[in-house]
Amino acid sequence: MKTRTAHDSLGTIEIPADKYWGAVTQRSLEHFKIGNHPMPKSIIKALALIKKAAAQVNLEENKLTEQQSQLIQIVCDEIISGALDAHFPLSVWQTGSGTHTNMNINEVISNRGQVLSKKSILSKQLILHPNDHVNKSQSSNDVFPSAIHIALAQQIKQKVLPALVGLRDMLSEKSKLYHNIIKTGRTHMMDAVPLRLGDEFSAYAKQIDWGIKSIEQSLIHLMEIPLGGTAVGTGLNASKDFGAKAIEQISNATGIPFQPAENRFESMSAKTAVLSVQQAFAQVATDLFKITNDIRMMASGPRTGLGELILPSKEPGSSIMPGKINPTQIEAVQMACTRIISHNTGNSIANMNGHFQLNTFMPLLAANTLESGQLLGDISRSFTEHNLKEIKPNKHKIEMHLNKSLMLITALAKTIGYEKAAKIAQHAHENELSLREAAIQYGKIDPLDFDRIVDVNKMV
């Protein structure tokens, strides 16, 4: 492998000749061979948005030449397009401030800019210095948390919320479609009074709707970014207006109304905004787990379970049992939900370890929360498309269970009293009678009165 020699404040180091990164990136590669979790590409692209905005403002403030600013912006556009993905190799498991990744992008912009200006990377006359020019008016300490907020806000608006809205709307559609289907209710996993299948699905739709609201609420804090705070929040080595100007450029580029952090010290030392997003994701994951559990149990069987819902057949379910179909989409959803919920623990620990002026768990926070958002968006879309859309009610099984339910006696209790109604239910169960038969035989109820009072249409 051909190499070139690069240098930083610690000396020289050999780097693959075909890569744009520099000495700091190479040292991180060699010193942090941990796991297999690359820094999310959405963070790299968010950093490029920041570097581009900074170059625009630094030109306006006469801190960069026209050529320097233009070169930075051109390379940032290449990074955002994905053209330079191969030059961002670093792991999540690095310095907790994300400095290695910030320097990775600084070095790539510097060296790629050198090439675009027709000069050698090996030249001592750098048009773009990674620290002095690309990182001007910035610090990893304000840039990296800003990148997390930008990447998450884009993911939420472009992927997570549209998928959840689609899921909620499909549940609402099913709720209306199933309005006239009356079925046995269940509490404590035992038979209860009847309800409409549509009512059951309306609860699911509302759960997802509340989840959407929680995520939207978490965006309020997330939209504040600390750019301009530099090292500890004071804004040292940046102009007073740099942060606000750069954030305005980022807002224009993304169409998302980011705002300067009300308190940059808070935004850099604590990552409560990111934790709030993760907690909102986990709330939806717990709701999805409950919803899919209900659907899976209602669809159990198809002959020896409840069998009230019919799931679409998508793949063979067994390598040995012919004809078996399993609730595979639901199983995938619940595994992903478990992963999302587990990230709450990691992010809680990470947020409370913001020591003094900087949180040094930021790569973990970024990786966990972005993965949660990706999973939540993917499973919502997949479950809607490949399962929920094609679910059908098994009206025969629903009616059979409803007619066998002993809890219909509840409607009679207000007429004959709780204790007598309970005795009728017990008599029916012990003697394998229908509730109507037991009421007539044991309770001496007139058949016409029973039919008038125990009317499921009046019970819902």
Last residue of a domain, one of 136, 163, 197: 136
User: Looking at this protein, which amino acid is placed at residue 307?
Assistant: G
28 and 132 housed in the same domain: yes
CA distance 92 to 109: 20
161 and 73 housed in the same domain: no
Which residues contact residue 367 at a Cβ distance below 8 angstroms, ignoring those fewer than 6 apart?
37, 39, 40, 92
Q: Which pLDDT score, from 0 to 100, does residue 210 have?
A: 98
Mean pLDDT of 217-231: 98
Q: What are phi and psi of 193, to 5 degrees?
A: -70, 160
Q: Identify any residues that bridge with 392 across adjacent strands, giving them in sequence order.
A: 310
With 90 as the cut, is the pLDDT of residue 124 above it? Answer: no
Residues tagged active-site = 188, 318
Q: How confident is the model at residue 121 (pLDDT cuts 50, 70, 90)?
A: confident
Q: Which pLDDT score, from 0 to 100, does residue 446 have?
A: 93
C-beta of residue 71 within 8 angstroms of C-beta of residue 117: yes
User: Looking at this protein, which amino acid is placed at residue 178?
Assistant: Y
336-385 tens-digit pLDDT = 999 999 999 999 999 999 999 999 999 999 999 999 999 999 999 999 99
258 and 327 housed in the same domain: yes
319 burial via Cβ count (<10 Å: 0-12, 13-18, 19+): exposed
Q: Which pLDDT score, from 0 to 100, does residue 9 have?
A: 92
CA distance 421 to 366: 59
The number of folded domains in the chain is 3
Which of these, 370, 374, 346, 376, lies nearest to 40 by C-alpha position? 370
What tokens appear for 361 in the block? 């768990």
Q: How confident is the model at residue 53 (pLDDT cuts 50, 70, 90)?
A: very high
414-457 tens-digit pLDDT = 999 999 999 999 999 999 999 999 999 988 899 999 999 999 99
Q: Which domain holds residue 433?
A: 405-459
Q: Which pLDDT score, from 0 to 100, does residue 56 have?
A: 98
What tokens appear for 208 in the block? 């997802």
Which residues contact residue 128 at a Cβ distance below 8 angstroms, ignoring those fewer than 6 apart?
68, 71, 72, 109, 110, 113, 114, 134
Percent of the chain with pLDDT over 70: 100
257 burial via Cβ count (<10 Å: 0-12, 13-18, 19+): exposed
C-beta of residue 340 within 8 angstroms of C-beta of residue 283: no
Q: Supply the CATH number for residue 445's domain.
A: 1.10.40.30
CA distance 436 to 424: 9
217 and 80 housed in the same domain: no
163 and 239 housed in the same domain: yes
With 90 as the cut, is the pLDDT of residue 187 above it? Answer: yes
With 90 as the cut, is the pLDDT of residue 267 above it? Answer: yes
88-102 tens-digit pLDDT = 999 999 999 999 999
With 90 as the cut, is the pLDDT of residue 123 above it? Answer: no
Q: Which pLDDT score, from 0 to 100, does residue 443 have?
A: 85
193 and 288 housed in the same domain: yes
With 90 as the cut, is the pLDDT of residue 64 above it? Answer: yes
Average pLDDT score over the chain:
97
228 and 333 housed in the same domain: yes
Last residue of a domain, one of 351, 371, 396: 396
Q: Which pLDDT score, from 0 to 100, does residue 125 have?
A: 84
300 and 174 housed in the same domain: yes
Instruction: Compute the Cα dihedral for 26, 27, 33, 34 and give only its sign.
Output: negative
What tokens appear for 66 in the block? 């026209």
CA distance 309 to 162: 27
126-142 tens-digit pLDDT = 899 999 999 999 999 99
Q: Which pLDDT score, from 0 to 100, does residue 106 have?
A: 98
Overall pTM > 0.85: yes
C-beta of residue 151 within 8 angstroms of C-beta of residue 42: yes
Looking up tokens 């905004």 gives 273
Q: How confident is the model at residue 119 (pLDDT cuts 50, 70, 90)?
A: confident
12 and 128 housed in the same domain: yes
218 and 365 housed in the same domain: yes
Find the radius of gyration of the CA atoms of the chain.
30
Q: Supply the CATH number for residue 227's domain.
A: 1.20.200.10
386 and 239 housed in the same domain: yes
Mean pLDDT of 25-52: 98
| Cis bond upstream, residue 327 (ω within 30) | no
Last residue of a domain, one of 347, 368, 396: 396
Q: Supply the CATH number for residue 75's domain.
A: 1.10.275.10
Helix axes 140-155, 362-386, angle to 10 degrees: 10
Q: Which pLDDT score, from 0 to 100, does residue 176 have?
A: 98
Q: How confident is the model at residue 120 (pLDDT cuts 50, 70, 90)?
A: confident
What is the 3-class SS of the chain, one letter each residue? CCEEEEEECCEEEEEECCCCCCHHHHHHHHHCCCCCCECCHHHHHHHHHHHHHHHHHHHHCCCCCHHHHHHHHHHHHHHHHCCCHHHCCCECCCCCCCHHHHHHHHHHHHHHHHHHCCCCCCCCCCCCCHHHHHCCCCCHHHHHHHHHHHHHHHHHHHHHHHHHHHHHHHHHHHHHHCCCCEEEEEECCEEEEEEEHHHHHHHHHHHHHHHHHHHHHHHHHHCEECCCCCCCCCCCCCCCCHHHHHHHHHHHHHCCCCEECCCHHHHHHCCHHHHHHHHHHHHHHHHHHHHHHHHHHHCCCCCCCCCCEECCCCCCCCCCCCCCCCCHHHHHHHHHHHHHHHHHHHHHHHHCCEECCEECCHHHHHHHHHHHHHHHHHHHHHHHHHCHHHCEECHHHHHHHHHHCHHHHHHHHHHHCHHHHHHHHHHHHHCCCCHHHHHHHCCCCCHHHHHHHCCHHHHC
Q: Which pLDDT score, from 0 to 100, does residue 130 have?
A: 97
264 and 284 housed in the same domain: yes
Give the strand pairing for 309-310 and 11-16: unpaired
